[in-house]
Structure 1
Amino acid sequence: MKKFKPRPGFVALAHKLALDPNATAERRLYSHGGAARAAYNWAVAYVTSVWWQRKAEQSYGIPEDQLTEWRSWSLPSLRKAFNEDKRTNPRFAGWWEENSKEAYNTGLAGASAAFDNYAKSRSGRRKGRKMGIPRFKSKRKARLTCRFTTGTIRIEPDGHHVTLPRIGRVRLHENAFRLRALVDAGHMRILSATARLDRGRWFVSFQVEEKHELVKVARPDAAVGIDLGIKTLAVLADSYGVLSEEPNPRHLDRAQKQLRRASRTASRRRGPDRRTGRQASKRWEKANQARNRIHHRVANLREDTLHKLTARLASEYGTIVVEDLSVASMGRNRRLSRRIADAAFGEIRRQLTYKTRRHGTRLVVADRWFPSSKTCSRCGVVKTKLPLSTRVFECDNCGLVLDRDANAGHNLVALAARTTGTGVAGDLDNAPVAESKPRGADRKTRTTRPTPQGRDGAGR
């Protein structure tokens, strides 16, 4: 899928709104999400069946030129094959016409992207962890989603309803008067809508082309260094020497007692078993829903806390300095993994990335090996060792005694001045970058032999 390029003066954004569907709209939403899952599973079976067939034929000694031909997993090829098969396939007979074509296109597009990621991962052209062969989506565990790109997609004039193709008019949980006003003024154009079941309720996300208007920050000449941690979520040190702390609410820790009780209740019920094919009992389903509600509440509280923190920082400071933390490696510590996941360091940096871009301010990312905690913020002497158990920094050269996180915050905000020449927000394209060593630069990338299956199944 080609990346959308907005018109000059416009930016591509997404607005996520919660839905309050009635029984009819909710049934149609579930039907469209299930249709997308069925189309995805059909595409996985359609492509992989030839793989196993060729493997079996090779074991029989059949020559290479006489093997079954590869099947392409490109989206146009999958869409053409699906349209030819849906009328005769017993899995879709009698109900495929009930849903929009966009539902099936959503599943086919997801399968095409999954096979692309698998091929790129095998050939070493994709960063990150190694991707396996796409697997079937379970009916009980799959995330229901459907993306609409054609048809009637609009926000109603009353601001309390949206209209989606084949689903109809759906009530919003919140008002969208501001978005409707932008559409009426010609400052926003809706490109697509994605309905998704997330944390037990339905949401709709509008991908829009919106007129870009910079909002001036409160203190454009000020810079702030952010040192993230577990005991304190963030220690903030600005360029004027002011220190402040953001306490860590620890939402997951506070819910542990409720989670243990809900998990014990679910463990006493007859749950599903994939090995024997046993279906879950109604009492287990009810207990599992109660447990999921606790997880959903924790996730909602965490999301609210992080959005408030990052929005306040992005709207106040002209320059923000954060560390390039290896969150995946930190999560391997079995003593701290739960608290690190609850703090969501990676999500904080992700939100700051797009929110600073929205305000036109700078986000400086310190090098992963920058010794922010070991460096004295007064004289600049670097300690050789500073274990995590030492929470107070003591300089052997100048005698500075300071909290470890506060010292790191001062060093980070000083890095902004050294990087840009001043602490003032500047142009990212013309300013030096603090990341002198990107992630993984100290290791040689391991590559594997490319697979014979390409996008069209024949290495092309």
Structure 2
Amino acid sequence: MLLGFKTELRLNNKQRTALAKHCGVSRHAWNWGLGLTKQILDHNRDNPEDKIKFPTGIDLHKWLVAQVKPICPWYYEVSKCAPQYALRQLAQAWKDAFKKNKKPPRFKRKGKHDSFTLDGSIQLDHFKIRVPKIGWLRTYERLPVRFQPKSVTISRTADRWFISFKMDFELVNRPKLYPVVGVDLGIKALAVLSTGIVVEGAKSYQKYEKKLSRMQWLNRHKQIGSANWKKAQVKIARLHRKIANIRKDTLHKLTSYLAQNHSRIGVENLNVSGMMANHKLAKAIQDMGFHEFKRQLEYKCQLYGATLVEVDRWYPSTKTCSQCHTVKDEMPLSERVFRCDNCGFECDRDLNASLNLELAAS
């Protein structure tokens, strides 16, 4: 099973400059290709009788070599893979947009989601990795030497650089403690399991929201591009990274526990994008990370040999009694205790929903 491996790089100033140059060339190639493809789409829309064939990633790279490289000599200071992969990813982004799977690609801005991809002669050692054009890069943790990747992606978050690549993981099939479990996701608590375990959400954004707002407020009058403005931008990016890392850490611990100890896991197929339309709950829903929870749980179930059962989002798990299965007409959000009018059963509404999800997953 192929999974991603990502670790932080330990760099000197010369290496940081080289990586920044690669990011700049990759971003320039992406923006150039995006501008060209948008011109082609506009031409085809205005002139339906004289349409131009939409270019592939290979076509874009050929035009880049012929038109851009002669007038941009700094392209030769970096590996040819950086602009090549950028145009290949741009072509794939347009394919996804044409199929209505994703939104159309947008122009990239310097300092935001900087990354580039390299392939070729890549070599792993215990605490360092060799990549084309740049050479050996040290890491903070030991690398899996037994596996040699074909390509690597280097990215920057705030002032830290990371390298990632795909590697083959062996599936882990070990005895499970519980045959089935239901997981009810919520805002008050991140997850309530049918076994009675309540997992509190990290709520990292709520915790640092005032500090983040204060830092952004202090940065409002700084001159864009000045030294003080750049320092403030790095501090804000560091805090954003901290908020995201706290959230991911909580989700990784929960999903690992579920996949390692349960044979079948029943979760509700939530419409997260629709839930985000509620402006009163959107911030709290985003702070919990429901989409990231599902993404992690899917691949960890494959890794540890568990089965993920997605219950239909219209299944009335909250309004159904987990004992006699009587469905109530309504269950407002203000009612935190479920009371069955038929059998008199009472319990927490989230626990009742998780018991129903467990039954649906059985």
**d(CA) in 1 for partners of 2:228, 2:107:** 27
Question: Which 5+ residue runs of structure 1 have no aligned equivalent?
Answer: 1-10, 59-63, 272-279, 418-460
Deviation of 1:46 (Å) = 2.9
**d(CA) in 1 for partners of 2:111, 2:122:** 29
**d(CA) in 1 for partners of 2:169, 2:190:** 34
**d(CA) in 1 for partners of 2:106, 2:322:** 52
Q: Is the 8 A contact 2:187 2:288 kept in 1?
A: yes
**d(CA) in 1 for partners of 2:43, 2:292:** 43
Matched, 1:230 2:230: no
Query: Alpha-carbon deviations, 1:90-129, whole Å to 9, x = none?
Result: 2x1x2111111110112211221233233x2xxxx3246x
Q: Is the 8 A contact 2:259 2:297 kept in 1?
A: yes
- Please give the residue correspondences for 1:190-209 in structure 2 after superposition, counting only pairs within 5 Å: 190-208=149-167
Q: Is the 8 A contact 2:264 2:307 kept in 1?
A: yes
Deviation of 1:389 (Å) = 0.9
Which residue does 2:199 correspond to in 1?
246
Matched, 1:115 2:74: no
Which residue does 1:29 correspond to in 2?
19
**d(CA) in 1 for partners of 2:192, 2:304:** 22
Name the aligned partner's letter for residue 263 of structure 1. Q
Query: Alpha-carbon deviations, 1:419-446, whole Å to 9, x = none?
Result: xxxxxxxxxxxxxxxxxxxxxxxxxxxx
Distance 1:249 1:72, change over 3 A: closer
For residue 212 of structure 1, the aligned residue among 170, 177, 187 is 170
Distance 1:54 1:408, change over 3 A: closer
**Structure 1 residue ranges (4+ consecutive) displaced by more than 4 angstroms after TM superposition:** 50-56
Deviation of 1:174 (Å) = 1.6
Aligned length: 362
**d(CA) in 1 for partners of 2:56, 2:28:** 18
**Comparing 18-27 with 363-372, which one deviates more in the overlay?**
18-27
Question: What SS is found at the alignment partner of 2:107?
Answer: coil
Q: Compare CA radii of gyration and give the structure with the larger one.
A: 1
Q: Is the 8 A contact 2:3 2:166 kept in 1?
A: yes
Distance 1:35 1:250, change over 3 A: same
**d(CA) in 2 for partners of 1:50, 1:328:** 32
Matched, 1:154 2:123: yes
**d(CA) in 1 for partners of 2:310, 2:158:** 32
**d(CA) in 1 for partners of 2:361, 2:42:** 56
**d(CA) in 2 for partners of 1:197, 1:228:** 32
Q: Is the 8 A contact 1:25 1:168 kept in 2?
A: no
Question: What SS is found at the alignment partner of 2:65?
Answer: helix
When the two structures are superposed, what TM-score results if normalisation uses the length of structure 2?
0.93
When the two structures are superposed, what TM-score results if normalisation uses the length of structure 1?
0.74
Query: Alpha-carbon deviations, 1:178-225, whole Å to 9, x = none?
Result: x11xx1xxxx442321111134321111122x2634231442x52111
**Comparing 41-50 with 389-398, which one deviates more in the overlay?**
41-50
Which residue does 2:254 correspond to in 1?
309
Deviation of 1:256 (Å) = 1.8
Deviation of 1:140 (Å) = 4.3
Deviation of 1:353 (Å) = 0.4
Q: Is the 8 A contact 1:148 1:165 kept in 2?
A: yes
Question: Which 5+ residue runs of structure 2 have no aligned equivalent?
Answer: none
**d(CA) in 2 for partners of 1:140, 1:15:** 23
Name the aligned partner's letter for residue 190 of structure 1. P
For residue 329 of structure 1, the aligned residue among 242, 260, 274 is 274
**d(CA) in 2 for partners of 1:266, 1:374:** 48
**d(CA) in 2 for partners of 1:17, 1:222:** 34
